[in-house]
Amino acid sequence: MKDLTIGKESNRIFFFALPMLLGNVFQQLYNIVDSVIVGHFIGKEALAAVGASFPIIFIMISLIIGVSNGFTIIIAQYFGAKDFNSIIRAIDTMNIVLFISSIVLSVVGIISIDSLFTLLRLPLDVFPMAKQYLQIYLSGLVVFFGYNGLSAILRGLGDSKTPLYFLILSTLLNIGLDLLFILVFKWGVAGAAYATVISQTIAFLALAYYLHKTHDIIKISFLKFNFDKKLFKTSLKIGLPSGLQHTFVSLGMMAILGIVNGFGTSVLAAYTVAVRIDSLASIPAMNFSMALSTFVGQNIGANKMFRVKKGLISTLIMSSIISIVVSLVVVFFGKQLMAMFTTDHEVIYIGESYLIIVCSFYVLFSTMFVFQGALRGAGDTLVPMFITLFALWVIRIPLAYFFSKEFGYFGIWWSIPLAWFFGMTFSIIYFFKGNWKSKTLIKHKNSFESANI
């Protein structure tokens, strides 16, 4: 456990974010390894099939991601206040919610696959492989929820290193199993899905066993879980807006995918690869935002409001510098990055155009996420949800549709940084209005005013 209420703010946030950043890089390697091996050894149709499955996978887990984030904020604020009994009740409640939800969503998702792919106008040459991949992936949803739930608990307690170690184990297993199932056993896209599910299962079970044996607070026992209705309602109040945000973002991704699908298999394959690279490159901004959320939560709980402002400024500077560096790397080496996934020259050209247009504006994305991370750490998740949904559904999707009519797939790419600009602007304005100060779980009289926030 790491106490973020003491020490230099920039150092605390950076070294707390670093393991999460590395962990998410390894987690993205799941999808990247799948895509590289699938693209080179099966073909662009299989590559498109894996890409078409991602928005549906994300929409199935979005609400639960939000609820988990709600519990992370609760745990962080109680940890700052040193209320360990409430932390234990929150952990038990979250585990129950995640287990039941994962089973329900797995069943619903598998039943709905045909209807969802038909709605998305998925090319017929991609449909069978995409269905096979998604069925296998969704069957392992319970272990994905379990692992992410344990990671959420540890983040709230200030521990971002332990999940990293087990995620590295899972990623190495995933790479080995990918090569075995696809190159040796010739299982096709099914092999990629099986490799991911098996490796994630091993990581979850290993982490759960390790924590049960070594951790003072996290003691996992299926016979002694206590469900706290009050904490569950609080987690919904804090986490549901974030979950709904993720859900509508997922629906937006599906809407964008529907527009992309209209341009054929090559554009879909290029979009699949470019989004993989884009997702990897955007990880620093998202992880600094998550680190700042925990930092803000703990310091509000400890009534150290002066550290909140310093933490925000430090995170903004660090995240912006890294985003600019990442933008330069991706823009100048976009063609080489695309070539890692496929040898199809048309796919490489289309994907490179996405990277040049979108990745040039990561600093907008980074700034938006940092301010929203501070708001969520304070417990205000509703307004960031509306800002994100506005930027997506009112700006990005309509622009993607109309621009694609005029400029082809280039128009879809340009809709992304334009949406980031509006999301960033509204997030900054709302933060400085200060309405979020009344949303904290633990109240301290006049503490924000004395800290000049």
Please write the tens of the pLDDT for every residue from 131-154. 999 999 999 999 988 988 888 888
Whether residue 213 is predicted with pLDDT greater than 60 in this model: the reply is yes
How many CA atoms lie less than 13 Å away from 131 in the CB half-sphere? 15
Question: pLDDT: is 125 or 409 the higher one?
Answer: 409
Among candidate residues 293, 298, 373, the one with its CA nearest the CA of residue 5: 298
Residue 62, CA distances (Å) to 123, 250, 386 in order: 26, 7, 16
Question: pLDDT: is 191 or 439 the higher one?
Answer: 191
Q: Evaluate whether residue 4 is within a structural domain.
A: no
Whether residue 125 is predicted with pLDDT greater than 60 in this model: the reply is yes
Q: Evaluate whether residue 118 is within a structural domain.
A: yes
> Residue 441: helix, strand or coil by DSSP?
coil
Whether residue 375 is predicted with pLDDT greater than 70 in this model: the reply is yes
Specify the pLDDT at position 439. 66
| Token pair 């039943």 in the structure block, residue | 111
| Domain interval for residue 282 | 9-450
Q: Evaluate whether residue 25 is within a structural domain.
A: yes
Q: Mean pLDDT, to the nearest integer, of 115-130?
A: 87
Q: Evaluate whether residue 198 is within a structural domain.
A: yes
Statement: the pTM of the whole predicted model exceeds 0.75: no
Q: Evaluate whether residue 199 is within a structural domain.
A: yes
Please write the tens of the pLDDT for every residue from 433-453. 888 777 666 666 656 555 566
Token code pair at residue 310: 């310093």
What does the alpha-carbon distance between residue 79 and residue 77 come to, in Å, rounded to a whole number? 5
Q: Evaluate whether residue 129 is within a structural domain.
A: yes
Q: What total of structural domains would you count in the chain? A: 1
Q: Evaluate whether residue 157 is within a structural domain.
A: yes
> Residue 161: helix, strand or coil by DSSP?
coil
How many CA atoms lie less than 13 Å away from 412 in the CB half-sphere? 25
Token code pair at residue 278: 């884009």
Specify the pLDDT at position 449. 57
Q: Evaluate whether residue 193 is within a structural domain.
A: yes
Please write the tens of the pLDDT for every residue from 410-433. 999 999 999 999 999 999 999 988
Whether residue 254 is predicted with pLDDT greater than 70 in this model: the reply is yes
Contacts of 438 (CB under 8 A, 6+ apart): none
